[in-house]
Chain A
Amino acid sequence: MTEIFGVPTQALFGQLLIGLINGSFYALLSLGLAVIFGLLNIINFTHGAQYMMGAFAAWFLLNKLGLGYWWALLIAPVMVGITGVIIERLMLARLYKLDHLYGLLLTFGLALIIQGLFRHEFGSSGQPYAIPKLLEGGTNLGFMVLPNYRAWVVVFSLAVCLATWFVIEKTRLGSTLRAATENPELVRAFGINVPRMITLTYGFGVGLAALAGVMAAPIYNVSPQMGSNLIIVVFAVVVIGGMGSIMGSIVTGFALGLIEGLTKVFYPEASNTVIFIIMAIVLMIRPAGLFGTAK
């Protein structure tokens, strides 16, 4: 078999594909974070816990209400998004006048609460969630078997990411939103309910996290820890991409997934660290991130 730098191409493509799949999760999650930070200037540390809630919501819908995966894709983000709206209205709204760091600390505390409650209720083992019947099985690509479900993950994430980017950057709703965060008074003068927009935007970002959670449920362990393991990496993705840039987060998410996959082939020990090394380098050279604009 052919080899590149001593690694068989089969193994290389296989790991790259895995990397792309992981990258989809990074992109989807960092999308939500980027929306929330870019538009609202809130650092949402709770994002990981909300992702976890999305997965548990899917599990709950299946096991208690008999509603399967496809229903969960629609309902779970709404359920978790509503909790996000409540959080924003009751707590985050009070902190807008203060230093951003308080928002970070609040969401960090909320993440602890949510994770602790779920751990208390469910234990750390994780709940099973089956792959939906339609997406079972795999396609033999020659160099590996690609599970159909994982292929779906890539396609769907890409679709959601691009749709969100389009709405925010190219539509009127999106431009109103962007204007509202840059100059709330002026936009309010146009008769637009700015606080409500902000609340709904936060809810939307949270909903995106929950959506990622539903998608993760069939393949990753549905456990209370699933978010906290991921959140730090996702932060790195957002920072590298540029904290306010939607496209930056999407591109960086997928790219980093691929880079991580490559690292696993050539130098597996560093695969966990490579994202942070890149983040440190990027922040030194381009402090606002690759696609971001300094605020």
Chain B
Amino acid sequence: MKFKRSLIAAAVATLAGTAHAQISDGVIKIGVMNDQSGIYADLAGPGSVVAARMAVEDFDAANKGMKVEILVADHQNKPDVGSTIARQWYDVDKVDLIMDVPTSSVVLAVNQITREKNKALIVSTGATADLTGKACSPNSIHWTYDTWALANGTGNAVVKNGGDTWFFLTADYAFGHSLEQQTEAVVLKNGGKVLGKVRHPFPGSDFSSFLLQAQASKAKIIGLANAGSDTTNAIKQGAEFGIVRGGQQFAGLLVFLTDVRALGLDKAQGLLLTEAFYWDRTPQTRAWSQRFGKLHKGAMPTMAQAGVYSATMHYLKAVEALKSDDGPRVIEQMKNMPSDDQVFGKGRVRQDGRHVHDMYLFEVKKPAESKGEWDYYKVRATIPAEQAFRPEKDGGCPLVK
């Protein structure tokens, strides 16, 4: 009798256990929200969606009995559009995870909503380091890079190279301010000086009057605290006004592979930049990138898109291990499991939600050095994972004990 009772008890307990750990609605819904047609469409955009789908396929969700659905939305770089989509996705479409989200003003709004609704957010393209600082949340992870890592990588390298006087040309929104602030701190720490700053409307088109001010300051380095076509246009127009010929140099604080392509090697050569991924760095990244290229019009992936792949993989593995897609619990699980994939190699997620991995300092090749399309970078240095990102205790994140 006792045996039978305990057998029944055990059976009931197992059933109850599995009833708790469940996928909501039986489907894991991942919403890729980014700029599908605007200035950030090339570096993330539809490419991020391709990367997410690749991750779902490589993870082999179908054969593991997990249903995964991917939704896509264009937030047009506007915080109000992004918040509306996020709310609707969480409330009506029962999305479990929002992924990617470039444009810091939007990602901060979506971060807030994700926390309120207790879902999950993984940021690949969004840059503001506040996501693992004062805006950190148990519902989100910042995957690919942030303004601190860029400022640290590029800022340090440029100042040590002799670029000790700076003038900032900054995009007037959260990301720009954040990048400017962090790079300024690095410059000052290394004994450099900031001779001036000017803010341009986001997105901008004509930088001539700002460039003149930069020229007048006579700073050795003009730091571009902006991204995408703002960066490329500033560099192009700078060429018109003879900035480089006059002896000044541009430092692109956030430059993607697609920006270098848009500029062309003759204008971009010698540019120093920090990225988390380059398609041609290792045989594994090359193989993966070529698969990506076949699905994305032959274009090579940027670090943002690679980040989406890597993050989605790790997320799905965490859901598999946990047997649940409950937002904060999956995020917690992702922090407890080390990550490893062919794109980013080994990495881990810290308590503050920061995913740490090696960062790389690249220099753009001269046209003569490039052996083919997309062959743009040479590696100048590897910044090890534990040094590349802001120390946990410095961020002001309440989750860090």
Contacts and interface: CB of A to CB of B under 8 A. Distances in A.
A8 interface: yes
B396 interface: no
Interface stretch (A11-19, A67-75, A97-105, A196-204): A11-19
Contacts of B201: 272
Contacts of A171: none
Given A219-B206, A220-B206, A11 B212 contact: yes
B209 interface: yes
Contact of B37 (A21, A22, A123): A123
B206 A144 contact: no
Interface string B184-210: 000000000000001001000110110
B229 A126 contact: yes
B62 interface: no
Nearest to A123: B37
Contacts of A150: 208, 240
Contacts of A8: 216
Interface stretch (B38-46, B95-103, B121-129): B38-46
A138 B205 contact: no
B208 A18 contact: yes
Nearest to B43: A125
Contact of A219 (B215, B229, B237): B237
A144 B242 CA distance: 9
Interface in A132-163: 138, 140, 144-145, 147, 149-150
Interface string A16-54: 001001100000000000000000000000000000000
Nearest to A261: B209
Contact of B212 (A18, A22, A123, A226): A18
A221 B205 contact: yes
A123 B38 contact: yes
Contacts, number: 66
Contacts of B209: 15, 18, 261, 264
A119 interface: yes
B336 interface: no
Contacts of A259: none
Contact of A128 (B37, B246, B262): B262
B160 to A, nearest CB: 30
A131 B267 CA distance: 14
B206 A14 contact: no
A75 B37 CA distance: 29
A262 to B, nearest CB: 11
A41 B229 CA distance: 39
B100 to A, nearest CB: 17
Contacts of A220: 205-206
A293 B298 CA distance: 60
Interface string B24-41: 000000000000011101
A226 B205 contact: yes
Q: Which 6 A-B pairs have CB atoms at the shortest separation, nearest pair first?
A: A145-B242, A124-B38, A147-B240, A14-B212, A123-B37, A221-B205
Given A123-B41, A124-B37, A150-B208, 5 more contacts: A123-B37, A145-B241, A221-B229, A223-B205, A261-B209
11 contacts: A11-B216, A14-B216, A18-B209, A119-B37, A124-B38, A126-B39, A131-B240, A144-B212, A145-B245, A223-B205, A226-B205
